[in-house]
Structure formats: structure tokens, C-alpha cells
Amino acid sequence: MMYEAIKNFAKQFAFEPVVENADKLPLVHGFIVAGMGGSHLAADLLRVWKPELDLTVLERSMRLRKNPREVAMEIAREWVERKMK
């Protein structure tokens, strides 16, 4: 099973997504991508492929807390710090 996944890895890049109802989607000027472990790697690839995107990737490990508002504030604070550079 793992052999087949590795062997067919390149086929994943042949996927052509279709955006449904694109005319109804709001215009967005920036993105924040956050995750745990290696989940930021796809966003890193996107940043290399489309460097013109306003993409902020939060790469460092964020310790989860009991209060999700604290996590949200930390993400927002890091985003602002990156934009101020």
C-alpha cells in the first residue's frame, strides 16, 4: 500500500480542481495557514509555486492551550508581526 502511494505520488499533481460558484465567492486579499507538525508543508509548496500570493504560514509549533482564544490571539499577533517586517 505504501509502495503504491509513493509510486503514484506524481499523479496527485495532475488534479485540476474546479471552483464552483466562483462568482459568489468574496474577494480575499490574504491567507493565514496554520497547522501542527508538518501540516504547513503544503502551504510552503504553494508559497514557492505562487509567490505573488499574500500567504502567511505559521510554521513554528504552537502549544495548544485549554482556552482557544489564547491560541487565536497568538496566531493574530504572529501574523501582525510578520506583516510589520
Per-residue pLDDT of 9-18, as tens digits, reads 898 888 888 8
pTM for this prediction: 0.43
Give percent of the chain above pLDDT 70: 81
pLDDT at 48 over 80: yes
Strand boundaries in 20-82, DSSP class E: 31-34, 55-58
Per-residue pLDDT of 56-83, as tens digits, reads 776 655 555 556 677 777 777 877 877 7
CB 55 within 8 A of CB 46: yes
Euclidean distance between CA atoms 31 and 64, whole angstroms: 21
Residue owning grid cell 460558484? 21
**pLDDT at residue 66 in the model:** 56
